[in-house]
Structure 1
Amino acid sequence: MSEHRHFTRIPFDAQTTVSQGNHSWPVDLIDLSLNGVLFKQPDVWNIHPGNPLMIDIRLADHTHIKMECNLVHITPVYVGCQCSHIDLDSITLLKRLIELNVGSDEYVERELAALIKEHGAH
């Protein structure tokens, strides 16, 4: 059975930090979507897989997209996380970023509606 992604993933390079508790690690962001992120696993890190991770993506204009994520998959190279909580400012920035890369406001609006339906409004 092939995996079907509901959310457009866009390749994106930005200063990104992953943190858990009092620890944080700079990571290389691979891509992001309305539903989560994929990044290269840091060489040295010590996370508790059952606990949420905080993702902080610093944009060129010094704004930040911040989201709380749960670890979904991990390989020796890559880590995939699904967004469990994102504030209004961050989702607005993320939505606009994806619109600029996809080129369609309508398409992103449909994805946002699917995300809200899938996860419920918080």
Structure 2
Amino acid sequence: MRERRRFQRIFYSAAAELSQNGESWPCELIDISLKGALVRCSHNQPSQQEGGKYLSFYLSESDISIKMAVELAHQEGEKLGFYCHHTDINSATHLRRMVELNLGCEELLFRELTQLLLDNNESSQPTDAC
């Protein structure tokens, strides 16, 4: 199977919370990237109901919270893979720094940020309706 991932995953274990329509589910963050996350929800998994889903977690030993608007991309048992649609500027700044520290290579970070900007620019382009 060909790897389609364009963003490096950072293995980061942390308690997280998935929320939707006023409900929330505890889960465990397995890994994260600039464009998504993989979590494990062991019970009371969220349904496929409509409405925005949000994933939030705190950075280790700090009061810094990262919150992402997400969409379920895939599910394999208790593991849920999410695509990030939006992150507030503070969360994006902390996430960028986290990725920078974990990649250890400024060139890789620059490439990922460039790809993120290109992806966001493409998704905001108007399309012709049929």
Q: Please give the TM-score of this superposition, normalised by the length of structure 2.
A: 0.85
For the residue of structure 2 that corresponds to 1:91, the secondary structure is helix
TM-superposition CA deviations, 1:48-103 (whole Å, max 9, x none): 35433101111121101111001100111210000001111111100110111111
1:76-95, aligned counterparts within 5 Å? 76-95=77-96
Whether 1:51 and 2:80 are equivalent positions in the alignment is no
Q: Name the Cα RMSD after superposition.
A: 1.7
For the residue of structure 2 that corresponds to 1:12, the secondary structure is strand
Whether 1:71 and 2:111 are equivalent positions in the alignment is no
Is the 8 Å Cα contact of residues 27 and 41 (structure 1) preserved in structure 2? yes
For the residue of structure 1 that corresponds to 2:77, the secondary structure is coil
Is the 8 Å Cα contact of residues 69 and 84 (structure 2) preserved in structure 1? yes
Identity %: 34
Q: Which amino acid counterpart does residue 5 of structure 2 have in structure 1? A: R
Gaps of 5+ in 2: 125-130
Match of 1:105 in 2: 106
Match of 2:28 in 1: 28
CA distance in 1, matches of 2:63, 2:36: 20
User: Are the structure 2 counterparts of residues 110 and 119 from structure 1 closer, same or farther at C-alpha, using a change threshold of 3 Å?
Assistant: same
Q: Which amino acid counterpart does residue 47 of structure 2 have in structure 1? A: I
Gaps of 5+ in 1: none
For the residue of structure 2 that corresponds to 1:13, the secondary structure is strand
TM-superposition CA deviations, 1:23-44 (whole Å, max 9, x none): 0111011100000000113311
CA distance in 1, matches of 2:52, 2:106: 30
Is the 8 Å Cα contact of residues 51 and 70 (structure 1) preserved in structure 2? no
Q: Which amino acid counterpart does residue 10 of structure 1 have in structure 2? A: I
Is the 8 Å Cα contact of residues 14 and 30 (structure 2) preserved in structure 1? no
Q: Please give the TM-score of this superposition, normalised by the length of structure 1.
A: 0.90
For the residue of structure 2 that corresponds to 1:24, the secondary structure is strand
